[in-house]
Amino acid sequence: MIQESRVVQETVTLGGELPVRRLGYGTAQLTGPGYWGPRGAAGDAVAVLRRAVERGVTLVDTADNYGPSIAEELVAEALHPYPEGLLIATKGGVVRTADNAWHVDGRPESLRAMCEASLRRLRLERIDLYQLHRLDPAVPMAEQLGTLDELRTEGKVGHIGLDTVTAEQLAAALELTEVVSVQNRYNLLDRASEPLLKLCEEHGIAFLPWFPLGNGELTGHPVCAEIAAAHGAKPGQIALAWLLHHSPVLCPTPGTGTLAHLEENLDAVDVRLSVSELSRLDALA
């Protein structure tokens, strides 16, 4: 018997003007362990990026500190001149000094310098979506967001996003400026950011969950594996499909450095979960 499945919205529009397909691609896995140094041959990374766009990806998410600088440079090498409709999102506000050494820096002069360096590496005149990678507790939020507002007024930034915030912080940020996206850790097993997701739904803000596959944990989860078998799919595809079914503002950008895994991830968009399957997955949190 065919079970009823939930309708899945295929696209989301950021800031009322940037339509993207909800399943995107993240570039962190193009760099080495701890997001430090290269992962392998640059040609392999270029091939993955180009194939992602060939498969219809319209949202590529990167950051200045992946590498550092390496991921942005690979994006430009692979995709510039960028095809119409492709949104390149990047992040600033964190300085790297070594493998797994992360230093938050939200000083206005630092944010401005980071943004302008990203513009050069990405070969862009405007970054359509520029995301504050972390709020700096040592700098007033108004100063950090004010700097991004200035960059937007100057035409260097199109829209502003936030990474790793609480619902309360997002609400405070919305009192200061327009925010079109957030990025927080969120997946089938980790839903601590559910209040933030609900706030995003209320305001039409895109939510780009990082670690959408639980840093690999969900690629072998037994419940995902059982449901995957019924669809002729892989467990990780079920975890990604659940995100697409769960909320229309969720825009997962799973990363990988291999073509085979890229194809597998992108095929998740074709998985349609039944109401009973969604209920089983919902109950895992």
Q: Which residue has 């401005």 as its token pair?
A: 112
**Confidence at residue 1, expressed as pLDDT on a 0 to 100 scale:** 34
CA-CA distance, 204 to 99, in Å (whole number)?
Answer: 36
| Domain segments of the chain as ranges | 11-282
Burial (CB < 10 A; 0-12, 13-18, 19+), residue 280, is middle
Q: Are 164 and 183 in contact (CB under 8 A)?
A: yes
Binned average pLDDT, 10 residues per bin, the chain of 285 residues: 68 96 98 94 97 98 98 98 98 94 97 98 98 98 98 98 98 98 98 98 98 94 98 98 98 97 98 97 94
pLDDT of residue 46: 98
Distance between CA 179 and CA 269 in Å, rounded? 26
Beta bridge partners of 183: 163
State the helix-helix crossing angle for 42-54 and 259-266, rounded to 10 degrees: 20
Sign of CA dihedral 252, 253, 256, 262: positive
Total residues found in the chain within this entry: 285
Q: pTM of the prediction? A: 0.96
Is 232 in a helix, a strand, or coil? coil
CATH architecture, range 11-282 = Alpha-Beta Barrel (3.20)
Using a 10 angstrom Cβ sphere, with 0-12 exposed, 13-18 middle and 19 or more buried, the burial of residue 230 is exposed
- Asked if 61 and 24 count as a contact pair (C-beta separation under 8 A), the reply is yes
Is residue 200 within 8 Å of residue 182, measured between CB atoms?
A: yes
pLDDT at 273: 97
State whether residue 19 is helix, strand or coil: strand
Beta strands in 74-173 (DSSP E): 87-92, 94-98, 101-104, 127-132, 157-163
- End-to-end CA, the chain: 28
Is 35 known to be catalytic?
no
User: What pLDDT, on the 0 to 100 scale, is given for residue 210?
Assistant: 96
Q: Which of 35, 66, 130, 186 is catalytic?
A: 66
